[in-house]
Chains A and B, each alone.
Chain A
Amino acid sequence: MTGKSKTSVASILPGAVTLVLATVYLIVLLRVENQATILALLGVGIAAVVMANWLGWFASVGQSFGEREGPLGLLAVGLAVVVAGYFHGDHFVLLLLCTVLLYTLATLGLNLQFGFAGVLNFAGASFFGIGAYTAAVLNEHTSIPHLFVLLIGGGMAALIGSLLLLPVLRTRGHYAAVVTIAFALLFKTFLEVNDLLGGPQGLQVKSMVLFGWSFNNNIEIGSLELSFYFAYFIASVLLLVGAFILVRRLERSWIGLNLDALRLDETAAQCFGLNIVRWKVTAFLLGNFLIGVAGTLQGFVTGFVQPNSYTFADSLIFVSILLLGGIGNPWGVAVATIIVVIVPEKLQVIQEYRFLLFSSLVIMVLLFRPDGLLPRSVRNYFPGWRP
């Protein structure tokens, strides 16, 4: 006897409270400039999380996110807009928020590839860069509407990524990873020696124009003046929400199951009719598409592309976000991106050492919490559904 869903659905409250507290904390962190205060604030944040974990509060938070994901997602979007609204005139903070959103979007693509299908991709930043360069080139030489430029940027990343398909499909595990590393290194060199793409100096990207409205003008509503980055912020939010829903639905479908099955045991999956190549290709291309779309918008946002922004080291940042957040969990990816992008920007002292810091952080997480800060939970095809 299985009813649709029983009334005893987990409360939305723990999740909502957590989101609001996190938002307040984020606003304070973004406001403060004094380095000592920031350091203290980070200490307080870590202590609070450790404490809450120790008291077992996260179990109920996890439950409310697991079963009431829709409304909580909506709340998260609303709160993100509140944060952006609070800093409406601050170019720097809004640019930072855009970066967080677009890195999250790109890492969702990586999550599809590695987290679900088990295909390692150490060239994330390269595909991100392909999107950005697509934006620069198409913007300069054509008058294709920018909404399509976003799609073409994603398509280019998928298309160029398909060059890697043959070697990636014929190798496994570490060897496939080496193929993508080689691609990442070649890609940067290719950009540097290619005069058409601006060589090492890179290219300018002209402002984004959607529906006849140029993004690079500050927005005036009555007496209120918003930074022009606010428009980019909204565009990033919309793209991220779309990608989030896509990735979630994919995970909660037979396709998500196929990807898990082939990642966990290819031989068994084969014996139950699964076409390994079809699903690996699907995951790889779709993942690259998301990474490419994120990169395209990022190209518009920064207004400038250069080979040095899309190096192997940047690819490692994407991978470390995924490892840190919790492979397979999009919420974890979002949280990890916030940490990885915002902390070094605010804490100037660690700027120099951020790679050292991230790498030790990733090693710590892999040692003590191998499934990431927010581990993926068992698949529930419909949030809140119980047998």
Chain B
Amino acid sequence: MTQTSPDALLTVQALTKRFGGLVALDQLELEMYRGEIIGLIGPNGSGKTTFFNVITGLYGADGGNVRFGGADITRSTPQAVYHAGISRTFQRSRLSLPLSIFDNIMIGNHKRLSQGVWFNIMRRGAFRAEFAASFEEARALVEVFDAPLADRMLEPVGGLPMIDRRRIEICRALISRPKLLLLDEPSAGMTHDETKQLMDDILEIRDRIQELSIVIVEHEMGVIERITDRCIVLNFGRKIADGTFAMIAADKQVQEAYLGLQ
């Protein structure tokens, strides 16, 4: 019955994921448009990260389907989802700590780099040109987030503070120019001021890339209020509210989910 509207970027229908007897996602319905920023909120264990993992192909869905840009990606591998234009960050930052900032960002650029063995080993001149162009691009992207950081591109990530790691993780997700960015608790482990800075950065990126759609999982309601166009509230894997922040904040069910029954 759900008719997907023409400019829907992501359409999720009756998406279900079970872990044994636990229903982590229960008949989830969601429609998202190009350029939209959606906040995905809900208490711990309500299925937010599971939703990301199912979308990106890390978990197989037990029912329902996911369409992205018109194509069915429900059964796609993580690789195929990335190639289709979805990239993500992780709740527990998953950077490669011994590698440099540049290397980490280039991991996210996989689909735009030449992967042939012959090219990489024997055509070093051509490789050098690709390397130099990629370096400039990565540097320019990091500069948007933090100018001093852009001068430290060859330093290992392991020595950087949490906020810089988050920035690099977002750069890694953005460098391949995805259509949809999934941010899983970008502010986890950061102070209030750092969180604010990071959100400013994200809004700036959004202004530069108008087409970019973002789904953000976040516990800080201030952040959600400030940057999202619309919010979706999950509880026990079910969608219990869908609307602007003001709407969901006034919603009785949402209040109950967060505060418990009076």
Contacts and interface: CB of A to CB of B under 8 A. Distances in A.
B254 to A, nearest CB: 30
B235 interface: no
A275 B79 contact: yes
Nearest to A276: B79
Given A261-B96, A387-B153, A250 B110 contact: no
Contacts of A255: 115, 117, 120-121
B96 A265 contact: yes
Interface string A244-266: 00100110011101101100110
A387 B139 contact: yes
Nearest to A386: B154
Chain A interface size, as a band, is 20 to 34
A273 B94 contact: no
Contacts of A273: 78-79, 82-83, 110-111
Given A249-B124, A255-B117, A255-B120, A378 B111 contact: no
A275 B82 CA distance: 12
A250 B82 contact: no
Nearest to B154: A378
Contacts, number: 98
B40 to A, nearest CB: 18
B56 to A, nearest CB: 6
A260 B107 CA distance: 10
Contacts of A379: 99-100, 103
B155 A378 contact: yes
B98 A271 contact: no
B17 interface: no
Interface in A299-324: none
B168 to A, nearest CB: 12
B108 interface: yes
Contact of A380 (B78, B114, B154): B154
Contact of A253 (B56, B127, B132): B127
B120 A250 contact: yes
A20 B63 CA distance: 68
B258 interface: no
Contacts of B176: 272
Given A249-B120, A273-B110, A267 B58 contact: yes
Contacts of B100: 378-379
Contacts of A214: none
Nearest to A279: B115
Contact of A2 (B58, B113, B114, B135): B135
Given A255-B120, A264-B99, A270 B136 contact: no
Contact of A254 (B78, B115, B124, B132): B115
Contacts of B135: 2, 387
B121 A253 contact: yes
Interface of B: 56, 58, 77-79, 81-83, 87-88, 90, 94-100, 103, 106-108, 110-111, 113-115, 117, 120-121, 124, 127-128, 131-132, 135-136, 139, 151, 153-156, 172, 176
